[in-house]
């Protein structure tokens, strides 16, 4: 669990630094998968060792019964304890494997969701820039129209003033 939260915080810090988080997400995803594969290999190795030890225990048990060698009884007990310890460790490792697999699946869903949200945010930003550009063009057109109206009003006022001057002179 600690590794997962640490990995999440590393991803968040990288996301803040980068504009495109896709590479960081994929890299973290691959690291998690690598850990999962190593854990699975360790689990397989541990199972192989346990099965080998169980075979040794069966062989030693058979020898002890057939030859009636009492001195091998402590070896049997020791081997039984080692096998039980290995089973316990194997069970714990199997639990960790399943837990990590679940966390990785959750991470994959979060990663896919983040990618989709990032793409949507990029599209929204692009659209907003486009709308903003149109708004600026509209604002410039309105200013030009207002300036033109003001010029026309000034010219009309001059024409009216000239008409009054002409009327006053006649």
Distance, in Å, from the CA atom of 6 to the CA atom of 18, rounded to the nearest integer, reads: 19
Residues 6+ apart with CB under 8 A from 125: none
For range 28-40, the mean pLDDT: 88
The SS3 of residue 118 is helix
155 or 88: which leads in pLDDT: 88
The Cα 10–Cα 101 span in angstroms is: 19
Average pLDDT over residues 142-158: 83
Is the pLDDT at 134 greater than 90? The verdict is no
Domain boundaries, the chain: 2-132
Q: What is the pLDDT of residue 72?
A: 67
The model carries a pTM of: 0.53
Cβ density class 46-79: b for 16+ within 10 Å, e for less: beeebeebeeebeebeeebeeeeeeeeeeeeeeb
Whole-number pLDDT of residue 60: 81
What pLDDT was estimated at residue 52?
92
Residue 19: what pLDDT? Answer: 57
List, for residues 57-115, the tens digit of each pLDDT value. 888 888 777 766 666 678 888 889 999 999 999 999 999 999 999 998 998 898 888 88
């Amino acid at each position: 669990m600690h590794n997962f939260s640490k990995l999440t915080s590393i991803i968040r810090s990288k996301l803040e630094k980068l504009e495109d988080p896709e590479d960081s997400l994929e890299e973290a995803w691959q690291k998690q998968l690598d850990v999962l594969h190593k854990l699975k290999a360790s689990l397989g190795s541990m199972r192989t060792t346990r099965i080998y030890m169980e075979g040794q225990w069966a062989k030693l048990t058979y020898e002890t019964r057939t030859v009636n060698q009492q001195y091998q009884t402590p070896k049997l007990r020791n081997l039984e304890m080692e096998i039980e310890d290995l089973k316990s460790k194997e069970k714990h490792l199997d639990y960790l494997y399943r837990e990590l697999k679940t966390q990785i699946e959750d991470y994959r869903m979060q990663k896919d969701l983040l990618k989709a949200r990032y793409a949507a945010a990029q599209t929204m930003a692009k659209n907003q820039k486009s709308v903003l550009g149109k708004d600026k063009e509209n604002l410039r057109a309105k200013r030009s129209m207002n300036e033109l109206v003001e010029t026309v009003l000034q010219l009309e006022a001059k024409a009216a003033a000239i008409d009054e001057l002409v009327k006053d002179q006649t």
